[in-house]
Structures are given as structure tokens and as C-alpha cells.
């Protein structure tokens, strides 16, 4: 494991492959960690890519540089951290891949700083930039039911559950979101260590409360949030992957994300995979990275 000071963080990350290889940055989601990309990273590094897999803020060994920095989990913070990581590692342009929170970071940098992105692989929601102004509008009941955990974290009860039993709660989410993935105790325990980060609870709770406009964000990120509020399009070459068995973001018949992409864009539904697609279908994910790198 390596680490680098980037923006407001000391970001811990794994790196594999040749130092002069084409850079690929892979970003995990909630509640997962860098091990979601173990097989993907090994495959891509073997092909000569320089593969970087960081812990997001609030996960693993990534730490804030100052106790005074707001522990924000808002979408702008994720994009800001990714851009800061690229700057700190002197990477002018990279291939980005991610899902869930990590997919959001990758989409944000692709939309706002496209000159820094060669290609994008986005899992789950292909266009993973939140429309916070529209978040007060109710969704269909079956969709609202899948978001129970988000509303749970709005309450003191939910926050306490995350503080006191984060491992049990996150394991339950893994099962719900990937019903066809038969992960074992060792696999889960390896990733669950990342949830012991001292800022994990604050970051998670802020993320799910902020996205509905219920609490303020970090003033230092307000200009980025203002740009995201305009729902910017993504013009870099993109492949969107969706797990056919995804228990929280099941693929719809209609591709409602397609209008947000102005460049080369493809959506693929991966049969037998759930929400944690890179770990459940590493070959499909690695192949998509190779494709957008051409």
C-alpha cells in the first residue's frame, strides 16, 4: 500500500502494473473497499496498465490532514478527491472506472474536467451525478423501498446502528444488493476492515442526508456543487455496466441515462451480477476498461 497527500486527505491506495503504463484509476462504492478490484487490477496490470485503487474518504487508511476539515460525504467531495489524487500523482489523463460512490466520483471528473479523462466505465447508474434539487420528488414505491437505508441514516437510530454494528449492517446490504453472489466470510471480513475508519460514520451519514438537500454541504465545495446542479453532460467515451441481479439499482428496460452522454456510449447488462459488479464480474469490467482505453 502507498499513500499521498492530495487535497484535504492523505489518500491510501494500491498500485500495480508498470509505472509507465497507461493510468487507470478504479474507485469503490459504499459499503465496499479496494478489494472489489483485486481481480480486475491483476488482469489490467498484466496487460501493462498502471492501476491505482484508492480508499475513498472515510474508508481504510485514508485520513483527513486536518481535524478542522468538514467530514463531508457529498458528491462534490468525491470528485474533488479524485481530481486531487490525479494532481498529486502527476497524472494528466486517466481511464476512470467506478461504481456506486466511486462511479459518482468518476462521472463528476468526466463531466467537469473531461480533458483529464481518456475513458469512463460507470457501473449501476451510468450517469451517476445526483440531481439534488429534484431529490424531494418521490419515486415509485418499489424504488423507495430499495432506498430504506438512505432514510434510515437520516435518523438518530440509523446513525447509532451504523456506529454500533457497522459490520452486520453492511453485510446485510451486501446480501440484499448482490443476491446471486455467494461471497464467503473471509471475503467480507477483508473488506469490512475498511469500515473501521474513524470518519466512516460521519462521511456516510452526511452523504445520505446531503443528497436530499436536508443538510448543508462543505462551503469549500459549493462551486463544484453549483456546477453539478446543472446536470452536466459527459462527452468522454463511456461504457455503462449494470448487474442484471442488482438489488438496489436494477437495470430498467429503457436506458434513461443515455441522454446525458454526448460522446461514444454503450450500456451493457451483465447477467448474474449484482451491485458490486467489479468483484462479481471482473472479466466484464476489465474488458470494458480495455475497450474505452483504445
Confidence class of residue 77 from pLDDT cuts 50, 70 and 90? Answer: very high
Rounded alpha-carbon distances, angstroms, from residue 258 to 71, 127, 255, 263: 33, 8, 6, 10
CA distance 172 to 67: 31
Left if phi > 0, otherwise alpha if psi is -120 to 50, otherwise beta: which for 213?
A: left
Exposure of 220 in the CB half-sphere (CA atoms within 13 A): 11
Q: Tell me the domains of the chain and their CATH numbers.
A: 2-292 (3.40.50.1820)
Q: pLDDT tens, 218-234?
A: 999 999 999 999 999 99
Contact 154, 214 (CB under 8 A): yes
CA distance 170 to 204: 12
If we measure between CA atoms, which residue out of 225, 174, 218 comes closest to residue 35? 174
**What's the confidence (pLDDT) of residue 199?**
98
Q: pLDDT tens, 3-36?
A: 999 999 999 999 999 999 999 999 999 999 999 9
Q: pLDDT tens, 149-165?
A: 999 999 999 999 999 99
CA distance 192 to 186: 10
Rounded alpha-carbon distances, angstroms, from residue 194 to 100, 172, 188: 16, 16, 11
18 three-state secondary structure: coil
**What's the confidence (pLDDT) of residue 289?**
98
Amino acid at each position: 500500500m502507498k499513500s499521498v497527500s492530495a487535497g484535504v486527505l492523505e489518500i491510501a491506495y494500491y498500485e500495480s502494473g508498470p509505472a509507465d503504463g497507461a493510468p487507470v484509476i478504479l474507485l469503490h462504492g459504499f459499503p465496499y473497499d479496494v478489494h472489489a478490484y483485486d481481480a480486475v487490477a491483476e488482469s489490467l496490470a498484466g496487460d501493462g496498465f498502471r492501476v491505482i485503487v484508492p480508499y475513498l474518504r472515510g474508508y481504510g487508511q485514508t485520513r483527513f490532514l486536518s481535524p478542522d476539515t468538514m467530514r463531508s460525504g457529498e458528491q462534490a467531495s468525491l470528485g474533488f478527491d479524485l481530481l486531487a489524487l490525479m494532481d498529486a500523482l502527476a497524472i494528466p489523463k486517466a481511464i476512470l472506472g467506478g461504481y456506486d460512490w466511486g462511479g459518482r466520483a468518476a462521472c463528476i471528473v468526466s463531466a467537469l474536467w473531461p480533458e483529464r479523462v481518456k475513458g469512463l466505465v460507470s457501473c449501476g447508474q451510468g450517469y451517476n451525478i445526483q440531481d439534488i434539487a429534484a431529490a424531494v420528488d418521490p419515486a415509485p414505491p418499489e424504488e423507495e423501498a430499495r432506498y430504506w437505508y438512505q432514510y434510515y441514516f437520516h435518523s438518530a437510530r440509523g446513525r447509532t446502528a451504523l456506529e454500533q454494528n457497522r459490520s452486520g449492517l453492511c453485510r446485510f446490504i451486501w446480501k440484499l444488493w448482490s443476491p446471486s453472489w455467494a461471497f464467503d466470510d473471509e471475503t467480507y471480513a477483508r473488506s469490512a476492515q475498511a469500515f473501521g475508519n474513524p470518519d466512516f460514520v460521519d462521511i456516510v451519514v452526511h452523504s445520505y442526508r446531503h443528497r436530499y438537500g436536508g443538510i448543508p454541504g462543505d462551503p469549500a465545495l459549493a462551486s463544484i456543487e453549483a456546477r453539478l446542479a446543472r446536470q452536466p453532460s459527459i462527452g468522454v467515451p463511456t461504457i455503462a455496466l449494470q448487474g442484471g441481479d442488482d438489488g438496489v439499482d436494477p437495470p430498467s428496460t429503457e436506458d434513461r441515462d443515455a441522454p446525458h452522454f454526448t460522446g461514444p456510449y454503450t450500456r451493457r447488462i451483465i447477467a448474474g451480477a449484482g451491485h458490486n459488479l467489479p468483484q462479481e464480474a471482473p472479466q466484464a469490467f476489465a474488458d470494458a476498461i480495455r475497450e474505452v482505453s483504445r
